Amino acid sequence: MTAPKREYPFATAAEAAAQAAAAPPSPQTTSPSFRLAFDDPEFLRRDEMRAMRLALEVSKPDILLGEAGIDSTVVLFGSARVASPEMAAALSAGPGTEAGQAAAARASEQLRWYEEARRFAYRLTKASRKLGRRDFAIVTGGGPGIMEAGNRGAAEAGGQTIGLSIVLPHEQAPNRWVTPSLSFQFHYFGIRKMQFLMRARAAAFFPGGFGTLDELFETLTLLQTGKIRRIPLLLFDRAWWTRLIRFEALVADGMIAPEDLDLITWVETAEEGVEAIGRFYGLALSDSPR
């Protein structure tokens, strides 16, 4: 049973702001110093207020996710540059230049990653809904490519799905599959990283670039050092990952312990990924085939 929301005898912040705005204009009341601190954007943007802004970026998504009933998540990482089926089709129909043909061929080859991420999110969301749970909501970085595939699969399964966007010099708009009320934007990379894992019960990694590798090794380090509880860490497409990273060489050279490789669960298909999560938590995560 949900506890009733506590009511305080004080005026709300909105009421206080309205009252402050109604003050008669004078040199004193129109001075920036007279503004309520929480209602003063210029003050909140000062360098000295960075700690408060960090706290706000922790609190806002956490509070809104709680209000939305998101008990736990599965975070899905992967390249923003993997083409969607629609983009792959457009590239195939594009100009027949050498560069155009190469781009179309690459998009066609990588489309399997998009579709597997989409199916993984779909099946996991269906399974969670079938069990009547509020767990395993798909969360991504909110952008295109593999992120879009994850949000898309979850939305197609009728679930709520989360996007954690970041302000960048060349901003990418959130993909259209993110649940609008669960679309968040961050300034601080560090806080966004925290939000990815704060409710995570599993992390799934598809092939990607610097950002994906950054999240992979950070998550592995947190697991290795016990800074976060043990969760399934799924790597999709073993052939691709082992071509890129020689994990066994790290063991052979004594850089990591042999048992550190047990932090990784290798999977090839959506079904294997969902099964691995279910096995870890002792749940029958099954749904009708897609």
Tell me the pTM. Answer: 0.91
What CATH number does the domain containing 225 carry? Answer: 3.40.50.450
Other beta carbons less than 10 A from residue 145's beta carbon: 27
Is 92 inside any structural domain?
A: no
Residue 176 in this model has a pLDDT that exceeds 70: yes
Residue 101 in this model has a pLDDT that exceeds 90: no
> What are the tens digits of pLDDT across the range 17-64?
999 999 999 999 999 999 999 999 999 999 999 999 999 999 999 999
Is 90 inside any structural domain?
A: no
Residue 241 CA to residue 236 CA, distance in Å, equals 8
> What are the tens digits of pLDDT across the range 190-233?
999 999 999 999 999 999 999 999 999 999 999 999 999 999 99
Residue 56 CA to residue 91 CA, distance in Å, equals 42
Range of the domain at 233: 72-85+112-281
HSE, side-chain direction, 13 A CA sphere, residue 217: 11
Residue 209 CA to residue 144 CA, distance in Å, equals 13
Is 168 inside any structural domain?
A: yes
Residue 11: the pLDDT is: 84
